[in-house]
Amino acid sequence: MKKLFLILAMALISCTPRQDYNKKVWAWMVGKTTMTNGQWDYYFQKAAEAGIDAILLECHGGYPEVLEEPSDTSKASTAASATGTDPAPDFTDHAAIQIIQNALPFAKKYGIELHAWIWAMNRTELSLRNAHPDWYQVNALGESCLNIKLYNREHYRWLCPSRPETIQYLKERVAELAQIKGLAGVHLDFIRYPDAILPYGLQESRNVVQDRVYPQWDFCYCDTCRACFKALTGVDPLDLEDPTADERWMQYRWDALSAVTSEVCAEIKKHGKVASVAVFATPQESRKLVRQDWPRFRNVDIFFPMIYHKFFNWEDYQVHTATREGVQELSEAGNDGILCSGLFVEHVPQDRIMEFMLYTRTGGSAGICFFSIDNIDRTYGYWARLKSDIAQFKEDGEEGEEGESR
């Protein structure tokens, strides 16, 4: 069956029209302010040698670094204190900015396109948590995600998408990155709600059983969300017989998240940068598990569905069907963003890399993205096999284009 699929896939490739980005290879990579020039050079050289064209570099993750304020900012704060005024908190992400600035010379040296990867709704920085605890999401039991440890994860601290302050805060964070000269784009991860239901393959390892949505994992029921929903429908979501089954309440949350994403991505594009998002594997699973209706996100240039198939207990070939479903729903929603499937390296044996790339290509993916460079580097032999398979992947793409031109 697998051999038959590969034969059909190669035939389809030869007759499918394709643009340059369809041969583009991306990878996620974690960045740190503490990385040396030697480390930066090593990773970018390895990526370039393997044929990776673009890197999504994490500069603000679940445990963001904190740097001292630049001297001029510190002086301003001191001056304000001396005059008896109370200066507004400075939320500038100096660490994220430095990580990107440190990486850019090496991206340029090796001809790799660089995008700043940040966590969006999931924000754990203490400066924000201490200043604005009311901005964070509340579950159906009335518990703030700041006061509980969701799925025993310290970094699960989620901003409420209904609050205008959330939108403004995220716009400021992406703007300070998008203004960096030489950066190609800003990539939003965790642009969703907390998991109402964990991906099925992760539930046992997290010691949870979720045959339905339970109130402790159902978000957001803060005062702002409840007031907004009541203004639209005349009903408080907490008064619904079963909020998890109410279509109006579900639609409200899909729409609230879509509005945040669309505005933040518009801010990225305002600075002339590419706006991209990491999303759950398929639109159907995204809506159900994390309240993320991503085909209706606007102002997004590239969607990266994370088709980490083993987390969903899927068969390998379902990487193809998941890709196809995403492409189809984007088209049906009239969304002109392109889709680039993301693969989890630990789910893709190195002797089957090409097979998985073909699953995505024949599903309609524009290129391929690997999570992550860090995983590739610690898997013996993966770089070498990836290099040869990427070369073949791009060569097959060239042949398909030549056939189309003839």
> CA 338 to CA 302: how far, in whole Å?
5
Going from the N-terminus, what domains does the chain have, and what CATH number goes with each? 23-72+87-405 (3.20.20.80)
Token code pair at residue 373: 């460079």
> CA 348 to CA 44: how far, in whole Å?
22
Q: Indicate the angle between helix axes 164-178 and 247-270, nearest 10 degrees.
A: 30
Residue whose structure tokens are 């995403």? 326
129 contacts 68 by C-beta, under 8 angstroms: no
> CA 46 to CA 59: how far, in whole Å?
20
Query: What pTM does this model have?
Result: 0.91
Residues 6+ apart with CB under 8 A from 90: 69, 73, 77
> CA 63 to CA 109: how far, in whole Å?
29
What pLDDT, on the 0 to 100 scale, is given for residue 404? 44
> CA 239 to CA 227: how far, in whole Å?
12
pLDDT values of the chain reduced to their tens digit, one per residue, 406 residues: 444 444 344 333 333 333 478 899 999 999 999 999 999 999 999 999 999 999 999 999 998 998 866 544 444 344 444 445 556 788 999 999 999 999 999 999 999 999 999 999 999 999 999 999 999 999 999 999 999 999 999 999 999 999 999 999 999 999 999 999 999 999 999 999 999 999 999 999 899 999 999 999 999 999 999 999 999 999 999 999 999 989 999 999 999 999 999 999 999 999 999 999 999 999 999 999 999 999 999 999 999 999 999 999 999 999 999 999 999 999 999 999 999 999 999 999 999 999 999 999 999 999 999 999 999 999 999 999 999 999 999 998 665 555 444 3
How far is C-alpha 317 from the geometric centre of its chain's CA atoms? 23
For the chain, what percentages of helix, strand and coil (3-state, to nearest 5) are there? 50, 15, 35
Token code pair at residue 205: 């390892």
Token code pair at residue 116: 């700043």
Token code pair at residue 147: 């006061």
Cα torsion angle, 39, 45, 50, 51, sign: positive
